[in-house]
Structure 1
């Protein structure tokens, strides 16, 4: 029985993906613990701390299907200990001669943290693949629509003409920055920890550092410069990246949602046969996936605060705060997995209505071109006087509904300075998108991060 929406048979795939849920499933957790214990035993065997036969036995007997997950859960509840039920079952699986060498010199947090690093690595591989696909989709949109003119909006109002390719390029650049951040943080967060009870390696002594280095190299994880049981900046950094990257995709989803409104009609999620917008209004074509992206992004970014709270550990270890990581970090990854997969789906089939974008530019009767007219006037009458002139004309148009072109031509000063041909020329939105197309193509042509 699922008690969380991510695991719900009804709603689970609206919040995450089967692939990401598997990484953080009970089976995935136990497999990561097995991997760490096995690597630790092999490293210790290499250095003569445990018999080679014991390491081989521990490795061979570590089969996740031989662990009853429900029984482990009951054991954790009964013992109030995270790892002991797992260790007891693992010992049962090993030969009597070798079982005493399992978990030699390690502490629970060593296994749990290092296992979490393995799961984080797999989760980041999934996200990297989805973000690479999102990047390519944004690159294509920026390139294909570099000259597709649309209204630029500030404060929710028409401002100046831009191009949709320019808008997509701003999204692309932001996603690229997150991909660059991910590349930079991987060496800092994909780090194991095999230091023993308080991190001093007192149990194994002089060879402790070499044991840790060999085991973590075996697992493909970086070696910490010192124990980080109570230094949780790595976790906070990971949570912060997930929140930032997810919020960027949430922003894109929200913009698609906004621009699909009936009154805008500039973008649309691809409509597929069988998709239903309403149980009572048959005509509805809702941006349902974009809405879901926004919802998940809001939950995701709210979780990031716990990453910073978890840094305030007491002494050398503190389960009160450490335990919060077991909930919020997997949840953040699973939400981000859903956000990235949904973004990939929406952007890959996004419908761009260039005709409606061009039509919407005319909604203000030409007022979107006020700056263009003002700057041309300023060449003759100065910027401040030009601003005042165009302001008065524009405010009058807003009140009366008079087309901007007509009002400009009717004004003695404007008509005498510019003339009708120049007025018409400088009211053409295609001539006033600045470097939008150039910027869009430049970003689209930039090599991926």
Structure 2
């Protein structure tokens, strides 16, 4: 992870959670919880568990030599094996008898998986705060701009009028679903791992289940019904949730970056000294937050491919598949938190140009109201006839570079059914917004916790 790019793509607190130092702290936390749980059940002496916990509290990761650990990990195949050796040596220096009970009955993957879940829990706590902040900002935009008419676009072309509040409401609704997904998955994924060599905890004789329960309580995690060394759906679900969040923020970033185009100029990212400039073009105001978010949205699917492939594992514990998670999952977490940080920043400080929104509505000289005109005529002359008549009027308006309203006013079949005042009403964009306000009301009610 490049330090130079950290402020562009990542979020400081989550980056710290997935640092080497933090990983070792979580591994020590898992070892202490294991000792305390086994002492509680009566497998190891309480005095041994107390010494293990005391050394962890007083010395922590200072008991670990990072340089030798990194070297040994390449030979051992994971960092847990040399880590346990060093941690045991630190305990032995204080009490030789207590050192006998470090890592009792566990396997390397128990400690690494549990540390990973502890990292995920702390990182998800930060992400949940970020999601709530983004949701609140999107709701504020929804309320403020619910009546601000805006061009709705399909296939990058002008379609029909919407409101900017409706676009913000859709952003908000996706963020609310993200929050719901997060809450729903916590009990499934935040689960301690303890199974021993092949998942049977045979080394603990008939007390394995008791230790698993006590171990989970010590860590404030769920206790697994079965060991999950080879079943990686929990890790995949966490990563999948993060990927959805990144995709949703990417959608928003795509929207506002397109709206920032010079010819559109409907919204702008917040300004700051040194932000969004060009090395050669002094006039530029680039969507730099969108660039970071969209880069993450480009990167995360590739990382997810590795996570999904890691689900197919051999027997009770895998060769290589589990190891691939160590590289992919932290990066997905970092990119998700970074994307959310920039999304919150933009949503809270977004500059909206209502005048340009109105200007862009008039760009096509009324063509965007062709469907409204057709639907008004359809009950009078039939839908197919109305479609053909308005289509011809559109072609004429384009060819003559005239406003569609002016062309329609001259058509005899139209004159038979509508006067100019009625036609003016039909051509008002705000009169053809469908149920947008109902949708906005529903989103706002959800935000206030009201029942639909």
TM-score between the two structures when normalised by the length of structure 2: 0.95
RMSD (Å), alpha carbons: 1.3
* Matching of residue 254 in structure 1 with residue 251 in structure 2: no
Structure 1 counterpart of 2:36, from 32, 42, 45: 42
Structure 1 counterpart of 2:88, from 83, 88, 91: 91
SS at match of 1:181: helix
| Paired residues of 1:149 and 1:430 also in contact (CA < 8 A) | yes
Name the structure 1 match of 2:7. 13
* Matching of residue 147 in structure 1 with residue 147 in structure 2: yes
Name the structure 1 match of 2:310. 310
| Paired residues of 1:266 and 1:353 also in contact (CA < 8 A) | yes
5 Å matches for 1:282-431?
282-431=282-431
Distance 1:199 1:376 in 2: 69
Name the structure 1 match of 2:55. 61
* Matching of residue 32 in structure 1 with residue 26 in structure 2: yes
SS at match of 2:447: coil
Give CA deviations for 1:163-199 in whole Å, capped at 9, x if unaligned: 0001111111111111111111111110111111000
Distance 1:44 1:328 in 2: 33
Cα distance change, pair 227–448 in 1 and its aligned pair in 2 (3 A): farther
Give CA deviations for 1:53-87 in whole Å, capped at 9, x if unaligned: 11011111121233222221122124444312111
Give CA deviations for 1:112-167 in whole Å, capped at 9, x if unaligned: 11111100000100100000000000000111111000111112111111000011
Name the structure 2 match of 1:76. 73
Distance 2:76 2:377 in 1: 81
Task: Name which of structure 1's ranges 418-427 and 251-260 shifts more when overlaid on structure 2.
Answer: 418-427
Distance 2:274 2:73 in 1: 45
Distance 2:395 2:154 in 1: 18
Q: CA deviation at 1:445?
A: 2.9
Distance 2:407 2:5 in 1: 56
| Paired residues of 1:39 and 1:218 also in contact (CA < 8 A) | yes
SS at match of 2:160: strand
Name the structure 1 match of 2:132. 132
Distance 2:137 2:192 in 1: 35
Q: CA deviation at 1:276?
A: 4.5
Q: Which has the higher contact order (CA 8 A, sep 6+)?
A: 1
Distance 1:277 1:448 in 2: 39
Unaligned runs of 5+ in 1: 1-6
Cα distance change, pair 81–438 in 1 and its aligned pair in 2 (3 A): closer
| Paired residues of 2:275 and 2:288 also in contact (CA < 8 A) | no
| Paired residues of 1:42 and 1:52 also in contact (CA < 8 A) | yes
Name the structure 2 match of 1:108. 108
Q: CA deviation at 1:419?
A: 2.2
Distance 1:441 1:27 in 2: 48
Q: CA deviation at 1:374?
A: 1.2
Cα distance change, pair 80–181 in 1 and its aligned pair in 2 (3 A): closer
Name the structure 2 match of 1:168. 168
SS at match of 1:101: coil
Distance 1:207 1:34 in 2: 23
* Matching of residue 443 in structure 1 with residue 439 in structure 2: no
SS at match of 1:151: strand
SS at match of 1:159: strand
| Paired residues of 1:247 and 1:301 also in contact (CA < 8 A) | no
Distance 2:334 2:447 in 1: 29
SS at match of 1:363: coil
* Matching of residue 121 in structure 1 with residue 115 in structure 2: no
Moved over 6 A (4+): none
| Paired residues of 1:189 and 1:235 also in contact (CA < 8 A) | yes
Name the structure 2 match of 1:3. none
Name the structure 2 match of 1:4. none
TM-score between the two structures when normalised by the length of structure 1: 0.96
Give CA deviations for 1:347-393 in whole Å, capped at 9, x if unaligned: 11001111111111000001111111112212211222111111111
